[in-house]
Structure formats: C-alpha cells, structure tokens
Structure 1
Amino acid sequence: MLTRRNVLMGAAALAPAVALDARPAAARAGAPALSVTGVAPSQLAPLDDVLKTYIKEREISCAQLAVTKNGKLVLARGYRYTDDASIPAVQPTSLFRIASLSKNITAAAVLKLAQDGQVSLGTPITTLLDLPTEGDARLRNVTLWRLMQHTGGWDREISKDYLWLDRTISKELGVPLPIGHQQIIEYAGARPLDFTPGSRMAYSNYGYMLLGRVVERVSGRSYESYVKEKLLAPAGITRMRLGRSLRSQAARGEVPYFSLYTTTMVMDASGATVPYPYGGFNMPNQDANGGWLASAPDLVRWARVFDAPSSILSSLSISRAFAKPEIGVNEHGSWYGCGWWVRQVPGHLNTWHSGSMPGTYTYMARLQNGVTYAALFNRREEEGTPDYDVLSSRVNTALGQISAWPTTDLWSRYF
C-alpha cells in the first residue's frame, strides 16, 4: 500500500503492471527466529525492543539500527528475523539500499560545489545541462535551489514519476532497454511542467536525478566519484557505494531484498517476470535520487556533517541545507530544505527523511536532544502489511523512556 506519507517522503510509485507474488520464504516457512549482532547497551533496551517488535510484526528478515548521542555512537545493531538459512546474519556493517536517504547526500554535493565557487545555487539548470525546452519554456526558471527543495515544477501525482517509466520511455523513444539518464531527460523534456517553478512543492525524484547530472557536469567527474572523494572520504566513510539492479550484482555484505510483487524486467527486452526489487527498476538510474548503499552506522556518521561546520560543509552550506523554500512552511509547521524535512523546535531544527522503494524502507532523523538515528529494512509497506509509518513515533516514545545514556563510544569498532 502506498500511503500519503510514503509519497511525501520519497516512495516510488508501483510500476504499471504488478502482480501479487507469494510471500518470501522468510514469511512462509514456519516460525522465524530472531538473531542480533552488534552492541545495544542495556540503557538503550527500549530502542532495541522497538526494532525487534517492529520487524516481527512486519515479517522483515533484515534490519539495522544505529544511534548517536551528542556525537558518540552508542548503539549499532543488525537484526535477522527468518528461518531461511540462505540469508546470512545481518551485521551492523551490512549494506542496504537506502532509497531517498540519498537525497541529502546529493544536495550536499551541490552545496559543496557552491561552497567551492564552482556554481551558483540560483543558476537555471538549462544553463548547466543540455535539456530540451520545447516542452515548456518555464524550464528556464528551474534553478538548483528549486530542484533541491522540490519546487521545480514536476509533480509525480500528475505526470507520473519519470524514473519509473522505463518501458514506456523505451517504447516512445524507440530505444532498447535498459534506458539511461539521457533518455529519461529526453522524454521528460518534451512534456510540460506540472506547475510554475517556485509556486508550490511537489516531491520529485526526477529533479534529484537532474541534480546528479549537474554534479557531473560542473565537477567533470562521475557523480559517485565526486561524492566519495569530496564528501564521504573526508567524513571517514568508505563502505558506501551506488547499488546495482540484480541480485547477482549485489555488493559484498549487501542484504537481500523482498517484496510481495513481481513485475516485468526493465534491464533488457526479455519481458521476463522478476521479483520487483531485482530488475523491476533500473538502480543505476536512481543514483542521485535514491541509489546509494550504506549501513546504519555509515548514515549516522554522515549525519554529523550537518551538526557543525567543517571542511566538508561550511556554516553557510549547513544553513542552506535547512533553509526555508520560497513557498514557506507547510500546514504541519515543517518544510523541505535540501534533502531533509525540517521543523523548528525550541532551540533546534529537527531534520528527518525516509526512503522507500520495492524491497527497501529506511528512516533517519536528527533530533533536538542530541540524538541521531538511522533504521534500515529490506522490505517496505505493501498491500496487507502493517503500517510502516509508526516507526518514528515508536522510537520517540522509546527515547522518552531512557533515563541514562551509555558513555562508551563505538565509532572505532566500525570505522
């Protein structure tokens, strides 16, 4: 089931033709067993219990949780809930597709380019990329700011999500599968925008895909290599990489993904029916929008970049990451900055984001009490499964039950 919040937080729409599949073996073969790895100090048992309960309720076979308090890594745990012996233990360092948690990484790359004087955030993308403008002259008013804050003019509830129309684009352009970024841009550019740029906010995976192409054009290198060299390596992160589409292409230590759905392969013209997470979408095309692999400890370490100025992001760049868009605050008192949802609380800006694609649900938050956490799962909410959106409220409740925090720091164990 695709909930309204999933849409706002980055869930991919289902492909046009999907069919219900049998439940994965982890949910079929009897009573699954829970095993855990890593460290969860006794003081943080409420958080550990949230994850254990959450994955049992949803029959999620692989999960992770990492928590920092005032910059220290205090919890890092992998969870395995299955009786399928082919699924290995989940380590705190296992890799997951993180879906739209990739967006704050892409936004940081653009902010870094601006910080280094290589681009201006008010620059129209038509001056940076070779975009067809015959579809709508308003495209010339789409700036980097507007792309990062989802006010560029694309609304996937109207024109559909171009990142998930591989077969349609292949047929209309007369090009073979798999299609690439350039074919997506050609297809989208021939169509009108859904609204005037800057007039409202609508979540756009396509806009973030374009930002990835800007990073490449301005930096003169691949999107992945720029992010690794300029952002991740200085933060001490070496595991993160872009994911691939097929299970046979999985990275070392990457978890398997499960979905109730099958769909038609988009990586070739075979027309084969495949599990939705494996060939039902083109993972390389998702790169800047939702293509990264990471562990939960990687993500909370990355989130520290937004806590204080450094050689990675200056104070100006951090303030830009959380700046209010020109349309202002929404009815919930929050707004979309640059790859983060943002809400002002007394003395702090709380920031968070979720990610969702077939076989993946992720959530990361930076909170006012000095806590940052990331939780990763190898399934997402689908028809008949329990609500996934309860995770953040349960974590918040658990945080309120913690009376003392551990003083140990686990960074050296995983980095």
Structure 2
Amino acid sequence: MSKHLPLALALWCTCVLPGFLQARTWTEAASGRKIDAEFVSSDAGSVTILMRSGQKYTLPLSRLAPEDQAFVQEQLRNKKTPPGETPRGGPKVKDRFEDIKKLTASEIPVNGEAHPALAKADVAIQGFMAEKGIGALTFALSKNGKVLHDRAFGWADSSLKTPLQPGVKMRVASLTKPVVKSAILTLIDAGKLKLEDQVYTVLQLDQYKEAKACDARWKAVTIDQLLEHKGGWDRDQKAGDLTTHSSEMERMFRLKPDELEPIYVVRYGLTLPLDFDPGTKESYCNFGYVLLARVIEKVSGQKFVDCLQQTVCKESAAPSFSMSASDARRRQVGEVWYSYHPEYTQEQIPLSFQTEAYDGAGGLACTAADYSRFLEKYWVSGKPRKEGGYRYAFDGSLPGVTAICSQRLDGINYTAIANRRDRAGSDWNGELRKRIEEALDPVAGQLP
C-alpha cells in the first residue's frame, strides 16, 4: 500500500547515478523542496512515486509545481504504465529473467581460464546469479601481476541461449572513479596540474553565461577537494547530486535525452548554489568526477577516454577501457547487454538518461580482467602501487550494473561485474562481495 509523503522529510539522497525508467525530480509548489523519485502511476488528482528505499508514496497533484502536473497529465494522455507495474485492468508484467531463478547453480554456464583452487568461488557466483536472476556476470582475479582466473558466467544476450565468453566488456559504474583518480594524479606527477589548482580557473568556466551569477564559492573549489568529495555538494541538501537532475538540464538547454553531454551537466551546476563551503566536509559526489573528467580533457588536450588509454590503461596493459553507450543500438561491439529495473518487455531499450553525460562518475566499460590489471598497477586511492600494503574495496551501482573490486592484504585483487542490480540500488554489492570472500579465504594461500 502506498503512503502519503511528508514533504518536509523528502530530500532523497543516492550513492549512484540516476536511471529509473521514469525517474525525475519533483518540486513542491509552495516550498520549492525537491524529491528525486520514479513515476509509478497517476490519476486525475494524485501521483504515486517510488523512492529509492522501495517505498511508494502518493502526492496530491495540487501540491506539485506546474511542470510536474503537466508531466503527470502527459502520462495520463499517453496511458503509459512503467514496465513491471500493473496497468489498470491488466496483468503485471513478468520479470523476463524469472526463469533464471529456477535454475540450480550448476546450470548457469561458465567459461574461461580457471584456477583449480577457485572452483568454490565459481559455484558461489553461480548460486548468486540463480538466486537473483542475473543473466551475465564476469569475474577476474589477479596476483603478482598475473590474471589467474578469468571467468564469464551466464549468457551473451537476453534470449539466454548463447553462453557468455571471457573478454566481454561491461559497464563498471562508480568503479570509474578510481581510474579517474589515477589519471588526475598522473597529470599531477607530470607537472601539468596541481592538487591546489582551482577547477573554475582550470576549466575557464567564466566563458559560460551561467557563471555570471554563480555562487562565489565555486571559484574556491580545488582539484584535491573534488578527488576527496569535499567540493561543496551535499546529496542531502538543495543542490544534491546533480547527476540526478537530467530532466531539468534537458529543459534548461532544450535538449532531447540523447543530446545531453557532460558540458551541459557542468553548466547546469553553475546555476545552483553550493551546499557547504569547499573543504569543510565530505559528501560523496558524482558531479565532482564529471568535473574531473573535464579537467583531464582540458589539461591533456585529449578526449577523456583517449587520455586514459595513453596513461593509466597503457601503464596497466589494460586496453579495453572505453565509454559505454546508454543506447543499446550504439553499443560497441564486445560490450555486454544489460538488464534494467523494472524489466523491459523488449530485448534492448535505451536508458532514459545519458550514461555518457556522467562519464567520469560512472560511464566506463571494460573487461573484468583489465580492471584487475588496473588494480595491479594502481591503488583504489589513485596512487601507483609502488610501496605499502593496503586493503581497499570499492563498489559501483547503476541500473543494469552491480560491480565490485577488491585489493586484499595478501596481494590478491579481484573484479566482479554483473549486468543487473537490485531494485533498491546497491544491496547486491555487499552480498556478492561476502560470497566471493567466503569462498576465497580458505584457498587464498594456494594461489601463486
């Protein structure tokens, strides 16, 4: 049963990029308060929305801003019901991959190079996939500079007929950020950039009309503060996570969803006040990494991915890194298919937002083996692995992506990437990591 939402408590935060099929930012007309949530259904007087927590709330249309009311009326006119919801008088759309959950772990296909000591890790992953209804997952483990285990689980397409093969690229979501950190620190080591440099100056943001009335604190934000999520944007406050504001950007710049590019994200950000003084607190910020990708391009004189290829990827001998396309029709050869929530009834449908527009925050794709090669050369902190023994774990989550990586004290690194995530957002990351670690710990000493 849906609930009536007290808007005073409705500022919603997210650790990941936007991506619900009908996700948008809703505005309370009287107070201007914002709610980021997914459209579920509506009638002539109210709208039901779905929060990231999984709870549904019903709002009277009269409390919403005119543009929100217009959006709801458009849904009514078009008689749209998001896939996975129950149309009035119609059946609920079936999860297309429910049949996977009927399989035993051993029935999930698996291919690729295997180390015999890791057989239980494979079984754990197969069981996880069968339990969650995951159609494709890649897993790679490395140690002492060598990939020892490179496995592909599941199927190469949504028809679930052709077994997946190793070497497929998968979107890594926020696992993009350590790669961005490494590229930034590489530019700093080369003397082309300093941690204390101000992003406003480096990017020459005063060239944009949106900068004329921007928050004065913008000019104080440094590269180091962006790297450490201290730039001034708080997901719980007014500006929030700017990467969830796709619809506002599209309206502001009169764009179609597939026309949204990173520079529009930056320009939109200039129109909003910062939530806190730069450097005074830490708040996980996707927007900061969109800015850092622009810094990489500006300082290197290359496109974002081209610079990565010439620096971090070259050093790691990991050439598969590339930009993932939101639109399945523009997806590169060798990149996997993705399963979104709610499940689509068609085999391939583009996302309702541009992954490419949030490139530095979560837009990269690569093979699991290449990400593990990256982990062999760089710490998740971005620093080269020249000394010290550290333990790092990092997660990524997007619609259609559950991604985890780990750098263990025993020198083992691993990467696992699935083509589906739980409806709530990122709960599966911890579950997948726990199962891999439980299978790995007893046999870690057997790995060379």
TM-score tier after normalising by the smaller chain length? 0.7 to 0.9
Match for residue 248 of structure 2?
A: 168
Match for residue 266 of structure 1?
A: none
Alpha-carbon displacement from aligned partner over 1:170-225 (angstroms, at most 9, x marks no partner):
21344454222222222211111111111111111110000010111111111111
Deviation at 1:134, TM superposition (A): 2.6
Alpha-carbon displacement from aligned partner over 1:218-247 (angstroms, at most 9, x marks no partner):
111111111111221232222221111111
Deviation at 1:398, TM superposition (A): 1.9
Deviation at 1:391, TM superposition (A): 1.9
**Cα distance change, pair 126–100 in 1 and its aligned pair in 2 (3 A):** same
Give the number of equivalent residue pairs. Answer: 360
Deviation at 1:55, TM superposition (A): 1.0
Do the aligned residues in 1 keep the contact of 2:377 with 2:384 (CA within 8 Å)? no
Aligned amino acid, residue 223 of structure 2: L
1:180 aligns with 2:287: no
Deviation at 1:79, TM superposition (A): 0.3
Deviation at 1:124, TM superposition (A): 0.8
Alignment of 1:185-264 (within 5 A): 185-261=266-342
The CA distance in 2 between the partners of 1:283 and 1:125, in whole Å, is 23
Do the aligned residues in 2 keep the contact of 1:125 with 1:143 (CA within 8 Å)? yes
The CA distance in 2 between the partners of 1:203 and 1:313, in whole Å, is 19
The CA distance in 2 between the partners of 1:197 and 1:167, in whole Å, is 27
Match for residue 3 of structure 1?
A: none
Moved more, 135-144 or 23-32: 23-32
Alignment of 1:93-132 (within 5 A): 93-131=167-205, 132=211
Deviation at 1:161, TM superposition (A): 2.6
Do the aligned residues in 2 keep the contact of 1:26 with 1:83 (CA within 8 Å)? no
Deviation at 1:23, TM superposition (A): 4.7
Match for residue 145 of structure 1?
A: 224
Deviation at 1:118, TM superposition (A): 0.5
Alignment of 1:336-415 (within 5 A): 348-383=389-424, 387-402=428-443, 404-407=445-448
Do the aligned residues in 1 keep the contact of 2:235 with 2:241 (CA within 8 Å)? yes
The CA distance in 1 between the partners of 2:201 and 2:357, in whole Å, is 22
**Cα distance change, pair 169–262 in 1 and its aligned pair in 2 (3 A):** farther
**Cα distance change, pair 35–289 in 1 and its aligned pair in 2 (3 A):** same
The CA distance in 2 between the partners of 1:355 and 1:395, in whole Å, is 16
2:355 maps to which of 283, 307, 311: 283
Aligned amino acid, residue 240 of structure 1: F
The CA distance in 1 between the partners of 2:109 and 2:416, in whole Å, is 17
Do the aligned residues in 2 keep the contact of 1:277 with 1:359 (CA within 8 Å)? no
Do the aligned residues in 2 keep the contact of 1:24 with 1:260 (CA within 8 Å)? no
Deviation at 1:85, TM superposition (A): 3.8
Aligned amino acid, residue 315 of structure 2: P
Do the aligned residues in 2 keep the contact of 1:262 with 1:280 (CA within 8 Å)? no
Do the aligned residues in 2 keep the contact of 1:35 with 1:80 (CA within 8 Å)? yes
Aligned amino acid, residue 170 of structure 1: E
Deviation at 1:389, TM superposition (A): 2.1
Aligned amino acid, residue 205 of structure 1: N
Match for residue 267 of structure 1?
A: none
Do the aligned residues in 1 keep the contact of 2:341 with 2:399 (CA within 8 Å)? no
Alpha-carbon displacement from aligned partner over 1:230-279 (angstroms, at most 9, x marks no partner):
2212322222211111111122121111122279xxxxxxxxx9999723
The CA distance in 1 between the partners of 2:446 and 2:140, in whole Å, is 14
Aligned amino acid, residue 360 of structure 1: V
Deviation at 1:142, TM superposition (A): 0.9
Do the aligned residues in 1 keep the contact of 2:327 with 2:350 (CA within 8 Å)? yes
1:91 aligns with 2:171: no
**Cα distance change, pair 354–383 in 1 and its aligned pair in 2 (3 A):** closer
**Cα distance change, pair 121–275 in 1 and its aligned pair in 2 (3 A):** farther
Unaligned runs of 5+ in 2: 1-12, 25-37, 40-81, 85-92, 206-210
Aligned amino acid, residue 367 of structure 1: R
Aligned amino acid, residue 99 of structure 1: A
**Cα distance change, pair 219–30 in 1 and its aligned pair in 2 (3 A):** closer
Do the aligned residues in 2 keep the contact of 1:133 with 1:190 (CA within 8 Å)? no
Unaligned runs of 5+ in 1: 1-5, 264-272, 320-346, 408-415
**Cα distance change, pair 274–43 in 1 and its aligned pair in 2 (3 A):** closer
Deviation at 1:30, TM superposition (A): 8.2
Deviation at 1:399, TM superposition (A): 2.3
Aligned amino acid, residue 251 of structure 2: K
Do the aligned residues in 2 keep the contact of 1:44 with 1:402 (CA within 8 Å)? yes
The CA distance in 2 between the partners of 1:313 and 1:349, in whole Å, is 11
Match for residue 96 of structure 2?
A: 25
Aligned amino acid, residue 239 of structure 1: S
Alignment of 1:278-357 (within 5 A): 278-306=350-378, 348-357=389-398
Do the aligned residues in 2 keep the contact of 1:102 with 1:292 (CA within 8 Å)? yes
The CA distance in 1 between the partners of 2:426 and 2:299, in whole Å, is 43
Deviation at 1:385, TM superposition (A): 10
Do the aligned residues in 1 keep the contact of 2:141 with 2:148 (CA within 8 Å)? yes
The CA distance in 2 between the partners of 1:235 and 1:143, in whole Å, is 28
Higher relative contact order (CA 8 A, sep 6+): 1
The CA distance in 2 between the partners of 1:370 and 1:30, in whole Å, is 34
Alpha-carbon displacement from aligned partner over 1:32-83 (angstroms, at most 9, x marks no partner):
5410001233311222122111111111000011111333322110000699
Deviation at 1:133, TM superposition (A): 6.2
Do the aligned residues in 2 keep the contact of 1:257 with 1:277 (CA within 8 Å)? no
Moved more, 69-78 or 241-250: 69-78
Do the aligned residues in 1 keep the contact of 2:391 with 2:409 (CA within 8 Å)? yes
Moved more, 170-179 or 131-140: 170-179
Match for residue 235 of structure 2?
A: 156
